[in-house]
Amino acid sequence: MNFIKTAIEGVYIIDPQVFKDNRGYFFESYSKRSFEKEGLFYDFVQDNQSKSSYGTIRGLHFQKGEHAQAKLVRVLKGKVLDVAVDLRSSSPTYGKFVAVELSEENKLSLLIPRGFAHGFAVLSEEAIFTYKCDNFYSKEAEGGIRFDDKDLNIDWKIDLSKAILSEKDKYYPSFKEFKTCF
**CATH code assigned at 19:** 2.60.120.10
Q: How many residues does the chain have?
A: 182
pLDDT score of 181: 79
Model confidence, pTM: 0.95
Mark whether 131 is an active-site residue: yes
Identify whether 181 is part of a domain.
no
Residue of 12, 42, 61, 118 marked catalytic: 61
Q: For the chain, how many structural domains are there in total? A: 1
- Tens digit of each residue's pLDDT, the chain (182 residues): 999 999 999 999 999 999 999 999 999 999 999 999 999 999 999 999 999 999 999 999 999 999 999 999 999 999 999 999 999 999 999 999 999 999 999 999 999 999 999 999 999 999 999 999 999 999 999 999 999 999 999 999 999 999 999 999 999 999 999 988 78
Identify whether 111 is part of a domain.
yes
**Dmax (CA) of the chain:** 54
Quick count: other Cβ atoms within 10 Å of Cβ 150? 9
pLDDT score of 115: 97
Residue of 131, 137, 171, 172 marked catalytic: 131
pLDDT score of 174: 95
d(CA 72, CA 80): 15
Mark whether 61 is an active-site residue: yes
The domain of 138 spans 2-170
